[in-house]
Chains A and B, each alone.
Chain A
Amino acid sequence: MATLFRRRAQRTHVERVRHRRHEGFLRYANFRWAKISGMLCLLIVASYALVDVTPRPNGGSWYGYTLGTIGAALILWLTALGYRKRRMTSDYWSLKAWTSAHVYLGLSLIVIGTWHTGFQLGWNVHTLTWALMMLVILSGLYGVIVYATLPAVLSNNREQMTQMQMLEAIRAFDRQLHAAAQPLTAEDTAPVLAALDEDPFAGGIRARLTGRYPRCATAAALRALAGSHAADAEARGKVVGLLRQKEAALARLRRHLRLRALLEIWVYVHVPLSFALIVALSAHIVSVFFYW
């Protein structure tokens, strides 16, 4: 009851930031970071045209160093998102705001990094750094696109079911299949048993991402039973019905897994490439100063 009796004067009530409506990370604060990032890019493009660097625009000029420093600092800050996301400190911050800034400032690196090169590219560690950066941005761009388009599809597909419930539904069909397949002949039973043994998570990364399972035992069992002429027609009809239901349940789960994989796969490119980028960036900076 301690707080019930707390007097107004002693209260440490903090006004909380509340949102009455959903606002995505791309639209955050009326596109604040898009505007900031756009302005930054415009500033760089304009100043690049106006500043006359002699003998020619180059990463090693004062102008090039400025852009390089901004870019390197930005790269390190952008990497910090992974830490921010997992570090649940108690002060006010919004991961949505961080994501929004991450996306738009990350995109601005295209201009910052490219203009920093002075459009001098070659086969060296400097260009490697630039290329890695572009790849990271490209993978991030893919992430933005799937984040913007796939959630609604994921939601439609699951129709209020959780992943556990989808698995449970498949197990329920398996139990019923097990009972219904008892009267089948030996040759009809084998494909059904194979379907029962099937692991819904099996199939590897390729099947997961494409959603195609050519060796699906349930589909195989359906084909086998459709072509069967054994004398157990009535029981077979029931099993075929159950197999169809299981196939539909499997299809939903596989679509679910595919969408989740598509939403996650890019992170496995984006993050390792980011670390590769930081290594290359270090090499780039060290070499620049070494050969001053």
Chain B
Amino acid sequence: MSEAVRVAIIGSGPAGLSAAARAAQLGLSHVLLEKTDHLSDTIFKYQKGKHVMATPARLDLRSDCRFDEGSREAILGIWDEDAAANKVTVAYRAEVVEVTGEKGAFHIRTASGDTIVAEHIVLAIGTQGNPNRLRCPGNDLPHIIYQVDDPEDFRDRHITVVGSGDAGIENALGVAEEALENRVTILNRSKDFARAKAKNVSDLMEAGENGAIDIRTETQPKIVEPGWLTLETPTGDERIECDVIVARLGSVAPRAFVESMGIEFTGPDREAFPKLSPTFETTVPGIYVIGALAGYPLIKHCMNQGYDVVEFINGNNALTPADEKNLATIFANLPQQKTVGEWLDHLRVRVRIFADVSPLQMREFMLDSKLAYYPAGEVVFEKDEPGSSLFAIADGHALVEVAPGVTVPIEQGSIFGEVGLISGRKRGATIRAGEDSIFVEVSRTAALKLMGAVPGAKRVIERISLERQLLQIFKGGLRVEDLAPVIDGAEVIRVSAGKPVVVEGDAGDDVYVVRSGSMVVEKHIGGRPIFLRYLPAGSYFGEMAVLSGEKRNATVKAAVGSEVIKLTGAGFKAMLAARSQVRAATEAAVAERAAMNGFIESRKTSYTSAVDLYSDTASFIMKEGLGEATDALLIDENLCVGCDNCEKACADSHEGLSRLDREAGRTFAHLHVPTSCRHCEHPHCMADCPPNVIHRGPDGEVYMEDGCIGCGNCMRNCPYGVIRMESTPPPKPGLLSWLLLGRGPGPGEPSPQWTKANMPEGKKPKKIAVKCDMCKGIAGGPACVRACPTGAAIRVSPEEFLSVARLEEDAD
């Protein structure tokens, strides 16, 4: 192709297709480059019949292509029609391998050797990357597949899975389902499955022991032939029958390719995105990035951006983004009247953390945020209220209540509520508006994204959080100025689970603050470590040695992966010296802790077994990952009669699905931790939710609001296996009609058979994530606990459960 096109669009997903359609509508010469032989490969690869959602509902679609929620097939069909109707020029099998040149004359070389010359490039390649391929002879045979759409497609076959990551193990377990009668082998080049999640590994090992999967370690494929596979094993080559090879060898992220064009990213970490201007232009003029690669994983965003970017390239600078009306509603209820653009500029000038934020990023943050007017004296939030959002002061100032009747001001331009970003626990202090003020409330996810994308914002937030955390811990008239000696030498240290921070008997006078995660304190008494205390985030330790000048009198180690802030002993002493009240308060706290240690030690001599049980129970609870729990279901198996009324109550309090499995899970000394959500301090499930529907509610519960797209990320990310992907069963007949007439399946979750038989005609069940929401919105509280007839079930946080009161009662 010799003649230059106005715009070349790389990638034909929703973003690229929408961009190409707009270019075609505007009459721009264009080409849409697609590496496969069909449009939108990511969605093409979805499981057959998968229901695709159209979130966020509040955002209007602005594209020449249509899109509404529906099945994968319907959506792909509509897009094929729209591509044809808009007369989009598509080049299939055009995998781009290199881009050279500059704005006006980019040279795009494809894998087949063609070169396309384009004035502008729109990169819409998504984040899927290319799967790594097998490297042995025969690797081009068609029976090698790189993903399993639906395990049910495989029946009575010899299947070999190559790859030891989660994807490989999950595929192997899927096709090894007994009813499918496949003979499944999994190959692992190394000895163990170190890259996979523990749950997957244990499931795989169990399947191996049951004979459902043949697990071959230190083995790799050597030669692929139709029907056969030669393996290279530690004991020599071996030829096995093999009809299908599933290769799950990871993929090459597209970042290297993007960087090869000279495009800069916001940072070195994996979450970083390309740096973009308000018109999606990268640091290389003439190259634009949209869609998932730009950080927008939702289809609607992608399609709108495709439309917008081509309008921008065409010189339409007056175009307001499709989210303008959403932003306008955010600014609508304020006393001052400004346009959206003016508000955004106002905030960027006045708030410190927004100083380095680009206008495009600012728009996005505001969509996840709220701007509110607070009259003087109004409470923004109260102490001990759950909440994780960050507030920034646009106008006015805030007052923090550090002690009853004592307030400290926070000036305009600063932030508050930042503790929620680091530790998902309750608010540390009550905050009021000091005068008529306007505060920006940024959701935790948006704030974390901001910190990831804008290093300047991250620095400001981290410094302020450290100051505040120390102010809250060491109360008593401490001021920001007093903290300078401590903060300048402070250092954030990451500690992996089980690693000690302070070891009993060592010298050292550093003081540590638990920033996130939690710690356990242990002391060697009578030749074995005895659990003394559980320290949740926001506690401090190591102060005894500073005050006494003696060696460490106990070991402190991380219960879960945690972060601690190390303060030097000298700086800490200087801080105490500055404020006698703080010194007195710290000494009082030390005395209290020492008294408790003394109590446990004295009990150890007279009530050895009670102390041992307390200590062992604590270690069991920590080992079960409850160190990161804020509220967990614990069952006393001395009381549990196995009636499963908790599960039934759970199902009946929600939409017919139980969110807990009573019988599964580990047990120690009759204390059973069932498979049920523990509402982690930092929920793993929240980490990667494309529609961002997982939140922490007012009672500390981690819950999902409507809008789940069924991607299953949360289920895979949860280390405790408490999230199910299920479709809602049809409504059941009432309880009385079951009791008196025997109609319906009765209390609890209906059997799959009943659900299938009673699903209304034509309704296709859609599987979405289901997890415990701690019975949010139900006045009576958690149904599992209320419905336990014997009192076996309770919900507690680890610090409540492991109180010394427990030990006292046990010893008495």
A residues near B (Cβ < 8 Å) are: 1-6, 8, 11, 13-14, 16-25, 27-28, 83, 85-96, 98-99, 147, 150-152, 154-155, 158-160, 162-163, 168, 171-172, 175-176, 260, 263
Structural contact, B787 and A88, CB atoms closer than 8 A: yes
Residues of B within 8 A of A98 (CB): 789
* Interface contacts beyond A14-B781, A24-B636, A151-B642: sample of 10 additional A-B pairs, CB < 8 Å, sorted by A: A1-B368, A5-B389, A23-B791, A86-B648, A86-B735, A88-B747, A96-B789, A158-B663, A160-B667, A172-B209
Structural contact, B789 and A8, CB atoms closer than 8 A: no
Structural contact, B786 and A95, CB atoms closer than 8 A: yes
A sample of 23 inter-chain contacts (CB < 8 A) reads A3-B695, A4-B441, A5-B372, A8-B381, A19-B785, A21-B794, A21-B806, A22-B794, A24-B791, A27-B791, A96-B789, A99-B789, A151-B639, A151-B641, A152-B637, A154-B637, A155-B638, A158-B663, A159-B667, A160-B665, A162-B661, A162-B663, A162-B664
CB-contact partner of A152 in B210, B670, B778, under 8 A = B670
Min CB gap A245→B, angstroms: 12
B residues near A (Cβ < 8 Å) are: 209-211, 368, 370, 372, 379, 381-382, 385, 387-389, 441, 443, 634, 636-642, 645, 648-649, 652-653, 661, 663-667, 670, 672, 695, 697-699, 705, 735, 739, 747, 778-783, 785-792, 794-796, 800-801, 803, 805-806, 809
Assembled-state Cα–Cα distance A18/B630 (Å): 13
Min CB gap B189→A, angstroms: 28
Structural contact, B638 and A3, CB atoms closer than 8 A: no
Structural contact, B699 and A24, CB atoms closer than 8 A: no
- Give 6 nearest A-B pairs by CB, closest first: A155-B637, A22-B636, A92-B780, A16-B781, A88-B652, A162-B663
Min CB gap A275→B, angstroms: 12
Structural contact, A151 and B792, CB atoms closer than 8 A: yes
Structural contact, B794 and A96, CB atoms closer than 8 A: no
Using CB atoms, name the residue of chain A closest to B637.
A155
Assembled-state Cα–Cα distance A162/B206 (Å): 14
Number of cross-chain contacts by CB at 8 Å: 157
Structural contact, A19 and B641, CB atoms closer than 8 A: no
Structural contact, B649 and A88, CB atoms closer than 8 A: yes
Using CB atoms, name the residue of chain B closest to A20.
B800
Structural contact, A85 and B791, CB atoms closer than 8 A: no
Assembled-state Cα–Cα distance A87/B795 (Å): 21
Structural contact, A19 and B794, CB atoms closer than 8 A: yes
Structural contact, A96 and B783, CB atoms closer than 8 A: no
Structural contact, B698 and A11, CB atoms closer than 8 A: yes
Structural contact, B779 and A14, CB atoms closer than 8 A: yes
Structural contact, A24 and B637, CB atoms closer than 8 A: no
Structural contact, B645 and A85, CB atoms closer than 8 A: yes
CB-contact partner of A90 in B695, B697, B778, under 8 A = B778
Assembled-state Cα–Cα distance A22/B211 (Å): 41
Min CB gap B35→A, angstroms: 37
Residues of B within 8 A of A260 (CB): 642
Assembled-state Cα–Cα distance A89/B809 (Å): 34
Residues of A within 8 A of B636 (CB): 22, 24
Assembled-state Cα–Cα distance A13/B640 (Å): 30
Asked if A20 meets B803 with Cβ closer than 8 Å, knowing A5-B370, A152-B638, A263-B642, the reply is: yes
Min CB gap B587→A, angstroms: 29
Residues of B within 8 A of A23 (CB): 791
Structural contact, A86 and B786, CB atoms closer than 8 A: no
Assembled-state Cα–Cα distance A215/B212 (Å): 31
Most buried by A among B210, B639, B652, B698: B639
Structural contact, B670 and A155, CB atoms closer than 8 A: yes
Assembled-state Cα–Cα distance A87/B385 (Å): 32
Residues of A within 8 A of B368 (CB): 1
Residues of A within 8 A of B640 (CB): 151, 154-155
Structural contact, A175 and B211, CB atoms closer than 8 A: yes
Residues of A within 8 A of B634 (CB): 22
Min CB gap A169→B, angstroms: 9
Assembled-state Cα–Cα distance A256/B73 (Å): 49
Residues of B within 8 A of A263 (CB): 641-642
Structural contact, B638 and A13, CB atoms closer than 8 A: no
Residues of B within 8 A of A6 (CB): 698
Assembled-state Cα–Cα distance A199/B441 (Å): 62
Structural contact, A24 and B639, CB atoms closer than 8 A: yes
Min CB gap A92→B, angstroms: 4
Residues of A within 8 A of B642 (CB): 151, 154, 260, 263
